[in-house]
Structure 1
Amino acid sequence: MTQNMENTPRSTVTTPDATDDPRQGLLKAIALAGRTVAAVRPEQFDAPTPCTEFTVRQLARHLVAVLRRIAHAGRGGDVTTLPTVADDLPDTAWQEAWDAAARDVEAAWADPEILGRILKLPFGSLPGGAAAAVWTSEFTVHTWDLATATGQSPHWDPELVAISYAAMKRALPTGPRDGAPFEVAVDVDADAPAIDRLVAWCGRKP
């Protein structure tokens, strides 16, 4: 199932603590995802991922598209007017497209007032701070998807994983998740690594 976290019901998502700047977590999550995408080898593009509707190639294209949508939202645009997958992106253009889109996100979100501004997302509207937490979660979980599919072992920032886990715990119910693009949570040991608990809550099997 496609795990598009932009479609997480807005009524269940709140912003992180006011003492934090959610933009910084988002930019760190984007940077980690970018390093993981950059390390994918050409022969791995057609490999399946734990996000079962996406191959490695398709998931990388999806993340570039999400970057473009985040920048568009930061400028007051409606993200539903942009595609969810960057199908125009050839295999030789990952790094250039990623770097350009990441810079665009940073520029579009430079004004701290965006954290309280209402942004248009697929499921409705959210304050920028809450939207940043949702997108941080999306990039963190999809980085795990890519890393798992391509045999990588990223260094997981405990703060980013904690932000993502808290956001997804609030956003997703324990039981059936009708209407949300997630499978039911997978059981893991209480003392499992934080990244395992995050992806298990999002329906992945660590």
Structure 2
Amino acid sequence: MTTELAHDPRPIFARSLDQAGKQVAAVRPDELSNRTPCAEYDVRALLGHMVSVLHKLARVGTGGDASDLPDVIDGIADDGWAGAFARARSEAEQVWADDGQLDRMIELPWATLSGRDVLDAYSHEFTAHSWDLAHATERLAELDPDLATRALEAFSKFAPPDDRSEQGPFSPAVPVPDDADIHTRLAAYLGRRP
């Protein structure tokens, strides 16, 4: 009798954080006020959001409630974002290194999911935000197409275009040419305007 091994989302999560971390580290202080495809965020606010999400992941991973943490962390020095991201990443990865976290049910503001599904979902969020940063700072060539393919497949399942409005986390999908690259298709699916 063979037993199928359960999916471990941590390697993909680490890859998505590697990609995001490279984008964060590449941001120059003069780019912090650049607009991003996320309508409510400039680059500084998007960086603050990404760091905050990592803190929230650490909190929920220990069974805590992350609702009191801000959606955007501020007060980081212009040249301190790479360090803030690296510290928050380390904190989150330490919490999620415990195999027991993967099968525990985690309450998020928008769903209750297994730890495996939580890390999958946030891998895709960091993939999308890496594109947002790369677009805002003109570093699109540095993105991993496999991560974008995975994210597009996942978002297609849990964020169908019919259930969207301008008020939700994802705007209605935007049409793109059939030959658009995978990052452009992901961004357009999420309602960004590449």
* TM-score, length of structure 1 as denominator length: 0.85
Q: One-letter code of the match for 2:37?
A: P
Deviation track 1:110-136 (CA, whole Å, cap 9, x = no partner) reads 012222111121123211111112111
Aligned equivalent of 1:49: 36
Aligned equivalent of 1:204: 192
Structure 1: which 5+ runs fail to align?
A: 1-16
Decide whether aligned partners of structure 1 residues 187 and 97 sit closer, same or farther in structure 2, where only a CA change above 3 A counts. Answer: same
For 1:7-156, what aligned pairs fall within 5 Å after superposition? 20-156=7-143
Matched, 1:189 2:174: no
- The CA distance in 2 between the partners of 1:129 and 1:184, in whole Å, is 27
- The CA distance in 1 between the partners of 2:160 and 2:46, in whole Å, is 25
Aligned equivalent of 1:10: none
* TM-score, length of structure 2 as denominator length: 0.90
- The CA distance in 2 between the partners of 1:35 and 1:196, in whole Å, is 19
Note the C-alpha offset of 1:19.
Answer: 5.7
- The CA distance in 1 between the partners of 2:129 and 2:142, in whole Å, is 14
Runs of 4+ that moved beyond 3 A:
17-20
Matched, 1:166 2:153: yes
RMSD of the alignment, in Å?
Answer: 1.9
Structure 2: which 5+ runs fail to align?
A: none
Q: One-letter code of the match for 2:169?
A: P
| % identical equivalent positions | 39
- The CA distance in 2 between the partners of 1:163 and 1:79, in whole Å, is 26
The answer on whether the counterparts of 2:29 and 2:79 sit within 8 Å (CA) in structure 1 is: no
- Give the structure, 1 or 2, with the largest relative contact order (CA under 8 Å, sep 6 or more): 1
The higher radius of gyration belongs to 2
